[in-house]
């Protein structure tokens, strides 16, 4: 109802004619522009925000950003509209606009931990890990049991070479959310680089019990198995085939590095993928690898 009212209002101002009395000409008009009450503006803004949220769910980020921007104009002091705009801009790959929206949301609601977490994630995405750590820790002071924030914190710590701290952060994330396979996977990545190969293998196997179709832990486990035990070649080859068929991007060392794989794991993977038994699989993955193949 509110959104329909807003569209009618936006289409044209309302002008009404009033007769001024029997002594005046019948065609005398007093035009005026209808100024909606604050309640009506708020209803329109909320309607736009709801529509923007629905568009985001449908993957239409750019259209959502336009509606969310209108919502912030009608609800300039509502942090929810600004957070919604930030999310839409982020999904539209407009990180600068997203940062501006988040900054405004934080001004309005500085005790909202989610806003600090979102800023931390954005800083991490923009390759500012130290800034990300500061923002995430501030958010965790307000909400200490957020698994996603600990996961982002661990990723930032990896980028800064703080492997011990990163491992603790990932373990905290897993403790808070038992099905958080990504956090368990990253524990293994850290452990492998620290030389704790058998424990890394053990945790990668746990990951695959949670998410059997995940390509990243499948390929990492294959590389680790072959490096640790030459007798595991058959299992490693089968795992590698399944992983690359699922997400061919993992054939690329550059993509592995983007996923925070360390030098040791990338080297073990290179040795695995150089085996003659995987030649056809590797060539197929190289042909299919590309930016649209990111794993869900």
- Residue 2, pLDDT above cutoff 50: no
Q: What is the pLDDT of residue 49?
A: 87
Q: How far apart are CA 204 and CA 272, in angstroms?
A: 17
Check residue 147 and give its pLDDT. 97
Q: What value does the mean pLDDT take over residues 193-197? A: 97
CA 219/CA 270 separation, integer angstroms: 11
pLDDT at 103 over 90: yes
Q: What is residue 35's predicted lDDT score, i.e. its pLDDT?
A: 45
pLDDT-above-70 percentage for the chain: 84
pLDDT tens figures, 277-291: 999 999 999 999 986
pLDDT in tens, 123-154: 999 999 999 999 999 999 999 999 999 999 99
Residue 243 vs residues 63, 72, 228, 240: alpha-carbon distances, Å = 35, 44, 19, 5
Question: Which residues, 6+ apart, have CB-to-CB distance to 81 below 8 Å?
Answer: 45, 49, 68, 71, 72, 75
Side-chain half-sphere exposure of 142, counting CA atoms within 13 A: 14
17 vs 280: which has the higher pLDDT: 280
Q: Taking residues 253-262, report their average pLDDT.
A: 97
Residue 93's region, left for phi above 0, alpha for psi from -120 to 50, else beta, is: left
Q: Phi, psi at residue 166, to the nearest 5°?
A: -65, -45
What confidence category does residue 268 fall into, taking pLDDT thresholds of 50, 70 and 90? very high
Best mean pLDDT range from 48-52, 163-167, 231-235:
163-167
Two tokens, residue 111 = 């005790």
Distance CA 36, CA 39 (A): 8
Please tell me the pTM assigned to this model.
0.79
pLDDT at 14: 28
Contact, 248 vs 283, CB < 8 A? no
- For residues 274 and 1, the model is more confident at 274
- Tell whether the model's pLDDT for residue 37 goes beyond 70: no
User: What distance lies between CA 77 and its chain's CA centroid?
Assistant: 25
Query: How far is the CA of 96 from the CAs of 87, 243, 286, in angstroms?
Result: 12, 35, 33
Locate all alpha helices (DSSP H) within 110-261, ordered by sequence.
113-125, 129-142, 147-159, 163-176, 181-193, 197-210, 215-228, 233-246, 253-258
Domains of the chain: 40-109 (1.25.40.10), 111-178 (1.25.40.10), 197-289 (no CATH)
Cβ proximity of 188 and 207 under 8 Å: yes
Residues 222-256 have pLDDT tens digits of 999 999 987 899 999 999 999 999 999 999 999 99
105 closest CA partner among 81, 124, 69: 81
Check residue 161 and give left, alpha or beta (phi > 0: left; psi -120 to 50: alpha). left
More confident residue, 205 or 40: 205
């Amino acid at each position: 109802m509110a959104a329909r009212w807003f569209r009618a209002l936006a289409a044209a101002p309302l002008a009404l004619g009033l007769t001024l009395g029997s002594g005046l000409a019948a065609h005398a008009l007093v035009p005026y522009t209808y100024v909606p009450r604050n309640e009506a503006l708020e209803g329109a803004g909320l309607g736009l925000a709801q529509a923007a949220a629905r568009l985001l769910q449908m993957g239409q980020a750019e259209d959502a950003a336009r509606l969310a921007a209108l919502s912030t104009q009608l609800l300039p002091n509502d942090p929810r509209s600004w957070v919604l705009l930030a999310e839409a801009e982020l999904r539209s790959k407009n990180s600068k606009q997203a940062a501006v929206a988040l900054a405004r949301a934080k001004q309005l609601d500085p005790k909202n931990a989610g806003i600090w977490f979102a800023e931390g994630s954005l800083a991490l995405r923009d390759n500012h890990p130290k800034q990300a750590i500061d923002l995430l820790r501030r958010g965790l002071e307000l909400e200490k049991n957020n698994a996603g924030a600990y996961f982002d914190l661990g990723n930032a710590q990896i980028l800064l070479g703080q492997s011990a701290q990163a491992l603790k952060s990932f373990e905290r994330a897993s403790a808070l959310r038992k099905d958080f396979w990504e956090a368990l996977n990253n524990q293994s990545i850290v452990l492998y680089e620290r030389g704790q190969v058998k424990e890394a293998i053990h945790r990668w196997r746990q990951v695959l019990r949670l998410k059997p179709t995940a390509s990243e832990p499948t390929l990492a486990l294959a590389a680790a198995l072959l490096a640790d035990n030459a007798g595991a070649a058959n299992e490693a080859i089968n795992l590698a085939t399944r992983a690359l068929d699922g997400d061919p991007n993992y054939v690329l060392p550059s993509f592995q590095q983007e996923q925070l794989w360390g030098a040791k794991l990338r080297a073990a993977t290179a040795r695995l993928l150089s085996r003659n038994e995987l030649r056809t699989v590797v060539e197929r993955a190289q042909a299919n690898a590309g930016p649209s193949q990111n794993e869900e």
